[in-house]
Structure 1
Amino acid sequence: MGRRKAALPGPLSDLDLRLLRVFRAVVEAGGISAAELRLNLANSTISNYIAELESRLDMRLCERGRGGFALTSQGRVVYDASAELFSAVDQFRSRVNHSHQRLLGQLNLAFAEHLPGGPDSVIVRALRRFSEQAPDVEVNIITLSSDDVTSAVVDKKADLGVTVLTQAFAELQTLRLFDEQMQLYCAQGHPLYGRSAIQAEELQQYRFVESPRLMPGREMSEDVRLWQRQARAHHQEARAALILTGHYLGMLPVHMVRSWGYEDRLQPVLAERYRYTNTYEAIHRRQPRNADAVALFSRCLQAG
């Protein structure tokens, strides 16, 4: 009986690396359709790339179709091995960059949605400095929910993130950046709108849209636990939409209410009693990929 052909009998080519990067993006997105935006490629093109990689490796890497997307056992091996491969490539690039005092490669950033600021924010100033000092580095930015930013950095899908941490992670190094003030609001049409004298006990009779980041007892009164939590919205716009119906109370960032131009439609409720602070931090692994680029961007953030 003949011996089975060895997959990739020769050196890895640029094409192999490209196909592996596409495969990794599909796995991390959870499917081919979900990876279209990330890769900026059509569904059919991505499918062809995956098929070509399977042909070159002589393996079935994933199941895709009406039943959904799922890795095969061989696909899991290839995905894990490719992580080691690209990590080694990044380490090689970092050492070469350091020897030439010139930064190359990629910097993958993950930002929490709706970061405080504007055209002159800490983030924009850091990006401006970094672009001036490392013009050859390709900067890739994704926006995620706060918790997903942390996961992306922990799982090595992003090199550096800016988010609000809810717990400490031993593997992460952090840099405090700025604070965001959260305030309880009602909108036009709500029974409390336009009133100046409001008793805390009254709030228990109204519906409240909860934010996952609201932590009663940390900075706000314990009576928050008694509110009618009849809706839940992680994203700020979704929470604002419910509040603007006039049927819900809810927490929103003060700076966003101002930037949206909603100050004439939203009213703070018992401002001194029901407010808390989110602290945004830059986070990265203690031994990140492309460490020189991460260190430079961290310095750019520290410069304020």
Structure 2
Amino acid sequence: METICSVQCVTRKIKGKEIAQNVSFEVSKGEIVGLLGPNGAGKTTTMKMIVGLSEISVGDIKIMGYSIKDDLSKALNNIGAVIEEPTFYPYLTGNENLRQYQRMHKTDDRKWLLEVANLVGIEYALKQRVATYSMGMKQRLGIAQALLKKPKLLVLDEPTNGLDPVGIRDIREYLKQLADNLGMGILISSHQLSEIEKIADRVIIMQDGRIFADQQIGDGTNDGFSRIILHIDDAEHTSKIVAELFGVNSSVSKSITVERLPNQLYTVALTINENQIPKLLTSLCIVGISVFRVLSLRTPLEEQYLNLTNSKS
């Protein structure tokens, strides 16, 4: 697979403090990579170094083989980015902002401008002044602007901020199309782990400026186990059934936590292989335990992310 972006042992120091420490990873053609981590983990700093907005103290970053340190202009020609909140000329229309961006980069492909506006669902508002745009509309316009150069690498920092659920779904579908149809490499940071799990091929988890995990979605992030919550009327009997089915010392039995609800019911939370959930529910019903609700507590990626970041705190 062709490498679009290569981050090579990169460190960023500010006043002697290492904001990013020895960070290394790659983004390949057609690959969507999620960059995760708590606030202050170094995600935005890493992205800023990739797009040339922050100085690289140690190491190097190459985009399509061009060094950010030595061939910045050639490297940037292959990058489209939205870092933090996108900014525009508020007194100009959406179309005028995009046209101005094209002029800055000496391009004049009006057909592509309309295509990307269509792609991100902003074509209906191109004649409106950006001052009238909602935050979600500005996010869409920012992604459209980033695509105008037909970049090989798209870097997006929290692109779904300010979007409603429909907008989030739409952006997810747009990005999949860009990766699949245009072979674009995409690096995206987000706090919405469920969205990253739906869209990314791979996740990189950062904390304290370092990378603690770099793995494929489904490779260790989802081993078939889920954390579920049952709303039932007999917690003690439920625990006994779980012990009989899986063993007293099994990981399932040891994972159980119980809380009493105001309506005389109980919540029983446990971690169980997804294939075993029907067997458990059937066994509970057979012995007369009423199951009022079954809820998923966390996604597999969320579970792994929280376990990892908590263990490294």
More strand by share: 2
The TM-score normalised by the length of structure 1 is 0.27
The TM-score normalised by the length of structure 2 is 0.26
